[in-house]
Structures are given as structure tokens and as C-alpha cells.
Structure 1
Amino acid sequence: MPTKNAMTESDGFSVEERAAMKSRAAELRAEGKKGAKKADGLQAVLDSIAKMTPEDRALAERVHVTVTAAAPELSPKTWYGMPAYANADDKIVVAFKNSGKFNSRYSTLEFQDAAKLDDGDSWPVSYALQKWSPAVEQKVTELVKAAVS
């Protein structure tokens, strides 16, 4: 039987993951002004995620873990109150729009102009997310890596 701290696909952050993120935010603040800005952005993202409905929160937490692992060079920050990730020029590359924010049927992962997903004269920039799975994680990882390549 899983322990209280163990995660399933539908669970949010484990106690260990939350502690690690708080530790990283403290490390960034200790690095000075630039680190403090990144730490504040991380905290704003975590606070934004914490305010979501349980279903949206579970998706947003997995998106956060996946984006930060796939593209550690992106800085977490909020954008219109939503979790987002910016490049070195402070331009948003990708954001998570939770379904509860606009009473939508599904949450979306949205890529902005700074994302390098161009493919001819048209390409998708918004992806519906209803449930997290290994296949969804793989797709998000591929998209994020392509967006920052």
C-alpha cells in the first residue's frame, strides 16, 4: 500500500517535492537579486497552483514538474495569474490555463510567441489537458523541449 507521501498520477506534489521546491526557492533568494526574482516567481507559481480546484491543481503540478525538468532554463512566473515559464529575455514561452479560471471544459497548455514551434504557415499553440498520463507527460516534454530549442 502506498505511503501517505507517495504519489499516484492523480495526486499533487508529494511532501518531499514541496520541501525540495521550498528549499530551491530559498537557495535562489540567497543568490541575490536575480535569484530572488526567480524564487519569487517560483513562489508565485506555487501559490497560484495551490488556489486551484483539486483537479486543476493535480494537472498544474504535473505540468510544473514536467516543464521545469524538460527546460530548466525557463523561469517560473505567473502571467495573468496563471503558472507560466519565461525564457532568458523574460518572454513567456508556455503557460498553464486552468479550467476553473474561465469555467472551461478543460485546462490548456498554451505556447506563446517566444516558443519555437513554428511549422510552415500554421501550427497548434494550445493543447487541451483533461487527465495526466505517461503519454501526456511525454507529449508535454516533447513540446516544451521543442519550444526552447
Structure 2
Amino acid sequence: MSENTTKSGFTDEERAAMRQRADEIRSTKGLKGAAKLAKEFEACVAAIDALTGLDQQVALLLHKIVSEEAPGLAPKTFYGFPAYARDGKVVVFYQPASKFKTRYGTVSFDDPANIDDGPMWPVSYAVVEITDAVDAALRDLVRRA
């Protein structure tokens, strides 16, 4: 076991993410319609604002791209990550490197994104630099999703 793995097999960071997800669900309990969307939007913006460096730059870029290319996706948080959903189901989210102390953050697409391409396809993309090519690729993926 690693030094920060608990008896349950989860790291401290993973357990914190699970607690954060439970808090997200509780924070919108009883809210419906526009009130729920507004609360989730605020949480997404707060999650982005809490990031720094490249993590914040990538999250801001993804937020901008979703706003421009897929305005029907609703901003929210997902385990504390900035995320975008359709009909309450997460389509795309950004997992910052700082969250689990990894080498790079990832833009990931969940099943409702339907970005299927043959018998096998990527659903998670490491982003280590923002370039025009990265912007274009993310725009294409978000449009497809």
C-alpha cells in the first residue's frame, strides 16, 4: 500500500473526491430547473477559479469551447472537476493534474458523449500545453459530443 492509501484501498485524494461528489449532490438536493442549473453553473465556475497555472488555463479553454461549440451542455461539477452535462449526464469534464498530483490534467468524455469511432477509441486526452492545434482538436471533440 502506498503511504496515503487507507485500509479501504482508496487514497486520501480519492476519498476526498468521493466526499466532494456527495457534497455536490447534497448542494442541489431539492433544487429544480433554473435554480439547479444556476447552482451547478456557480459550482463549475468556482472549481475553475480554484485552479492555478496550466490546470486553470485548460479548464478555462474547455469552458469557452463548450460555451461556443455546445451551448446546450450545462456546466456543473463532477467529483469537484469542471464538467458539462446533457440531461444531467456528464458528457465532458476536466480532471486537473493538481487533484491527484499527476503529471498532466486530462479532458475526458463519458459514455453520453458518443464519440465512438470503430471498435476502439480514446475518451481521455492529456493536455500539457495549450496550442492552436489543441484548441482545434478539443473543439472538434466537443462538437462531436
| TM-score relative to the length of structure 1 | 0.73
Structure 2 unaligned spans of 5+: 1-30
User: Which whole-Å CA distance do the structure 2 matches of 1:35 and 1:69 have between them?
Assistant: 20
Deviation at 1:142, TM superposition (A): 0.3
Q: Determine helix, strand or coil for the equivalent of 1:85.
A: strand
Amino-acid identity (%) = 43
Deviation at 1:41, TM superposition (A): 1.2
Amino acid at match of 1:38: L
RMSD: 1.4
Q: Determine helix, strand or coil for the equivalent of 1:114.
A: helix
Deviation at 1:53, TM superposition (A): 2.2
2:98 is matched with which residue?
Answer: 100
Measured against aligned partners, the alpha-carbon deviations of 1:42-97 in whole angstroms (never above 9, x if no partner) come to 1101111111122211111111111121100000000000000000x211100000
User: Which whole-Å CA distance do the structure 1 matches of 2:67 and 2:92 have between them?
Assistant: 11
Amino acid at match of 2:58: L
Amino acid at match of 2:70: A
Structure 1 unaligned spans of 5+: 1-31
User: Which whole-Å CA distance do the structure 2 matches of 1:136 and 1:39 have between them?
Assistant: 29
1:112 is matched with which residue?
Answer: 110
1:60 is matched with which residue?
Answer: 59
2:126 is matched with which residue?
Answer: 128
Q: Determine helix, strand or coil for the equivalent of 1:78.
A: strand
2:5 is matched with which residue?
Answer: none
Deviation at 1:33, TM superposition (A): 4.6
Measured against aligned partners, the alpha-carbon deviations of 1:94-128 in whole angstroms (never above 9, x if no partner) come to 00000000111111000001011111211100001
Q: Where in structure 2 are the equivalents of 1:1-149 lying within 5 Å?
A: 33-87=32-86, 89-147=87-145
Deviating more after overlay: 73-82 vs 44-53? 44-53
Aligned residues: 115
| TM-score relative to the length of structure 2 | 0.75
User: Which whole-Å CA distance do the structure 1 matches of 2:34 and 2:64 have between them?
Assistant: 19
Q: Determine helix, strand or coil for the equivalent of 1:47.
A: helix
